[in-house]
Chains A and B, each alone.
Chain A
Amino acid sequence: TVMAAPVTNDQSWFFALALGVSFLKCLLINAYHSTDFEVHRNWLALTHSLPAAQWYYEATSEWTLDYPPLFAWFEYGLSHIARFFDKEMLVVQNLNYASPATILFQRLSVIVADVVFFYAVKECCKCLREDKGKYLLGKPSFILTVLLLWNFGLIIVDHIHFQYNGFLFGVLLLSIARHFQNRHFEGALLFSILLNLKHIYLYIAPAYGIYLLRCFCFTQSNIYASPESRINKLSIDLPQVLSRLFPFKRGLCHAYWAPNIWALYNIADKAFSILGVKFKLLDINKLPKASMTGGLVQEFQHSVLPSVSPLATLVCTVLSILPALFRIWHRPNGARGFLRCLVICALGSFMFGWHVHEKAILMAILPLSLLAVESREDARIFLILSITGHYSLFPLLFTTQELPIKILLLLLFTIFSLTSLKTLFRSGGALLNPLEATYLLGLIPLELICEFVYPLTVWQKTFPFLPLMLTSIYCALGVTYAFIRLYISLLTCSDSTKKIKTQ
């Protein structure tokens, strides 16, 4: 059979997987889409109708342009194709316009933009150290391809919720692949392009900065600085752009708490305040009202624990990633060490950042997939992080119609990653220890309670956001655990620079 054929069909399976996932994405065209759909339609309209100087001043719609200029130019390019589908979507005043042609165009644009991601995954597969397997399903490159192309988070966020992460992560993975292939200039250039497409990648800029400075900037002249400045010429009015890009007026946590440290901090604060009122240590009238998960994005004061300012989160984030950066500076472990540091930076910023979206967990999961198919310990961390992180994306799709889809796709991804990684690292016992396995199995009752049992109880009306809080906190535990384990693996890994130099 084709699946057992060793050499002759070597690349056709890649095409088959890419085509298969594209078919699935096409079937999801009619699924629920979030307000992000209107956001992007608005950007198509305003980049098409207005001159560039006004893009960051336009405020007819509440969804102002809050991505960097290069992404705005990308939307401008798309708008020229959008004309052939439905001209009405390009009118700025047509708020919430969503004709079938508009939906078709926008969905197809995400699916087609994913071609960049496919190319990047192909390049990443070439960077794997050894790719031998008895049969196709056991090859690391096959497993990596499925983990990336069929990643649950990307499918859910990009093709249902609606965003362009596939395309952006393609640029990121391509940049990483170029570093693995010792094409550092291209890697740096790609990262600068990425930063100008979506500024959230600043989370991992320190890893790039330290790695490139340490390994190359002292030997060659200023390669990192020049592409950055070239691209920045495309931006226009810096203060206005920056004010749109970094809206610090928003609260510590998003309306739904991302499963990070601040979620645990908030719940500790709430617990202390409840206990304090119960034991008459606090006066209930002095406590600030309004729940943080009330669905509104607002600044919030904590009642018992000290409140957290944006500066505090920045300091915490920097402190959390500093040891990793020092480690890379002193003992760079080649491209793999850089990748590990990158994942830690992404995860550290996720854990301690200000107003973090739960979607940002993908920035840690996707690069970690590369490490997961090569080392046992990384596979373990990947399993915990990916299953927990993906589960934490569930509240993004809150409609009943999408409930079966998200459960089926999560099961699909989880079963595949568990069985394939278990088979890959067969020698050496079980991949997950009993505690970890129990934690992951605990997600099943959590899901049953939050989405099936709780809505039928009386508390649904009085405490509607309790399931969200439970999900955030349960997942925050898993994410924190993965973060700690990743740090331990970075700080204790043996120096294998001699092996890396032969690549």
Chain B
Amino acid sequence: MENWSLISLCVLLGLTARWAVSFHSYSGAGKPPMFGDYEAQRHWQEVTYNLPVHEWYFNTTNNDLNYWGLDYPPLTAYHSLVCAYVAKLLNPEWVELYASRGYESHSHKLFMRATVLFTDILIYIPAVLLYCFYFCDGSSKQKVATAFCILLYPGLILIDYGHFQYNSVSLGLALWGILGLGLGWDLFGSLAFTLALNYKQMELYHSLPFFCYLLGKCIKQGLTWRGFFHLFKISMTVLVTFALCWMPFLSDPKQPLQVLHRLFPVGRGLFEDKVANTWCSLNVLIKIKTLLSRETQLFLSFALTLLFVLPSSLKLLSKPTLWQFKLALVNTSLAFFLFSFQVHEKSILLVALPVCLVFNEIPLIATWFLLTSTFSMLPLLLKDGLLLPYVVTSLAFLFLSLYLLSALERSTEEELRLGLYRKLTQRWLPKLNLSRIIKWKFWFSLAAMAALSFTSVWLKPPAKLPDLFPVLVSVLSFLHFLGFIIYFNQVQLMEPQRKKSQKKTN
């Protein structure tokens, strides 16, 4: 069968899965007075349509920032404005100022879901397909299989089409950025990434690797005017894009400051709700939230993040190849997720995107990570009534990646890149079969996640510990993520400085 038909079948299946998940409930469904993220997005359409630009980020009589005030950069606002125009055509009640607060109807839900599908088809899916066809090794069937598995990653589907968000836009734009950089079109890549950054400020997690990669490339071009000129062109692209996106806000100096204040709420604490990062998990043992002052918390978070981010970034600076770039993206975003300030559980999607990109090279570990990332969001998904799609998509994803990409067969020590671990155990336990241990750990971990999912749904927590299951979920995920950050750092840092590489590098 020809390639185009296989690709179209995969895309059609991916779209069907997405739309089928969208039948289920969304965040805050039927829960006045605040509802959830779905209402937030609808409210932003209302605000951007009815109010002038200079009022969008300010607390005015018409715009109550306490009721889902805009806290994403301008591109999200423009996107909401476009959606609002369409909404007005279909049914003006959906974006009526004040009157439409808490508006819920079947046709409105269809409209909102359709907007997500539209941007997904436009931005994210083509990027995934292009990535798999240009940058994956193997036969064309293997490329299609990889694309299929990436398209069926449960976390993104459940959050975008279930909980309700537009992550496919920012992640898709970031992926276009990576594609651009991989193909050598640095300016296009920078443009795409800057747009992603202007859509969701969390993309800052990815910005350091982009910076180091581009800087490294410029340095490699020699410390001549060519390198500098290239750097200059990239910086100009970034600055111009920023200027264009922020243009309506540049007239008055108060505007950008207020926007930044909304984007980075340093007034909030170290973490909110249960999230699988260090601070929340540490809080279980010692109440650091109350023990340390806010300045100390900020400093500690900054220091640890820097500690984990530096080695990877420096290695990327010295060796700016695509493989290093992808690994650096994983390591940096995971470090930010684990140690940064005010992290939300959905931010794991920022780590999941680069892990999807190494799917083809390390399928087993990638599958493990992606399943863990979906599992870490379980409390959120249960609150939204998404148990059924969570179970079905996770099982389907596990099965597909094991079957189509032969994840379990491609797990020799060399394929799993366990170089350092092998060196460490060589001395004391030379006969240890590391790959078998990894496989056992994989199955054991899946069993633990399945068991915990089951108990979260069926059992009632004891009265003294009402948050027992969410805490257990986040602690278990945290331990996994800690293991993953050590592993991925090991893979990136231990890569030998080969001149002739067997993989396709850029």
Contact = CB atoms under 8 A, between A and B. Distances in A.
On whether the two chains bind one another, the answer is yes
Interface of A: 1-4, 12, 16, 19-20, 23-24, 26-31, 137-138, 400-401, 404-405, 408-409, 411-412, 415-416, 419-420, 423
Given A137-B1, A405-B20, A26 B388 contact: yes
A431 to B, nearest CB: 14
B1 A404 contact: no
A4 B141 contact: yes
A134 to B, nearest CB: 11
Interface in B112-169: 117, 138-139, 141-142, 145
A416 B142 CA distance: 19
Nearest to B15: A408
Contact of A419 (B1, B17, B388, B392): B1
Point out which of B20, B141, B145, B399 has the most chain A C-beta atoms below 10 A from its C-beta. Answer: B20
Contacts of A26: 388, 392
B110 A400 contact: yes
B107 interface: yes
Given A415-B8, A420-B1, A401 B23 contact: yes
A16 B24 CA distance: 26
20 contacts: A1-B139, A1-B141, A1-B145, A2-B404, A3-B145, A12-B403, A16-B403, A19-B399, A23-B392, A26-B388, A26-B392, A27-B388, A27-B389, A28-B20, A31-B20, A400-B107, A404-B19, A408-B15, A416-B5, A416-B9
A478 to B, nearest CB: 23
Interface string B1-29: 11001001100110111011101100000
A1 B148 CA distance: 15
A412 B388 contact: no
A137 B9 CA distance: 13
Contacts of A138: 1
A23 B2 CA distance: 26
B138 A1 contact: yes
Q: Size class of B's contact patch?
A: 35 or more
Contacts of A423: 1-2
| Overall SS of chain A's interface | helix
A409 B19 CA distance: 11
Nearest to B395: A23
A404 B138 CA distance: 33
Nearest to B138: A1
B406 interface: yes
Contacts of B389: 27
Contacts of B19: 404-405, 408
B396 interface: yes
Interface in B378-406: 388-389, 392-393, 395-396, 399-400, 403-404, 406
Contacts of A405: 16, 19-20
Contacts of A416: 5, 9
A24 B139 contact: no
Contacts of A20: 396, 399-400
Contacts of B20: 24, 27-28, 31, 405
Tell me the dominant secondary structure on chain B's binding face.
helix
Contacts of B138: 1
User: Shortest 8 CB-CB distances between A and B: which pairs?
Assistant: A27-B20, A419-B5, A23-B396, A412-B12, A26-B392, A30-B23, A408-B16, A404-B19
Contact of B16 (A12, A29, A401, A409): A409
A411 B110 CA distance: 21
A412 B107 CA distance: 26
B141 A404 contact: no
A316 to B, nearest CB: 40
Contacts of B139: 1, 4
B388 A29 contact: yes
Most buried by B among A16, A23, A27, A31: A27
A27 B9 contact: no
Nearest to B396: A23
Contact of A27 (B2, B5, B17): B17
B142 to A, nearest CB: 5
Contacts of B404: 1-3
A404 B145 contact: no
B405 to A, nearest CB: 8
A16 B396 CA distance: 10
Nearest to B117: A404
A420 B2 CA distance: 9
Contacts of B141: 1, 3-4
Nearest to A104: B388
A143 B107 CA distance: 39
A30 B399 contact: no
Given A26-B392, A409-B12, A409-B16, 14 more contacts: A1-B141, A2-B403, A3-B141, A12-B403, A16-B403, A20-B400, A27-B388, A30-B23, A401-B106, A405-B16, A405-B20, A408-B15, A416-B5, A423-B1
A2 B406 contact: yes
Interface in B67-117: 106-107, 110, 117
B388 A30 contact: yes
B105 to A, nearest CB: 12
A12 B117 CA distance: 33
Contacts of A30: 23-24, 388
A44 B19 CA distance: 31
Contacts of B395: 23
B106 to A, nearest CB: 8
A335 to B, nearest CB: 29
Nearest to B392: A26
A141 B411 CA distance: 31
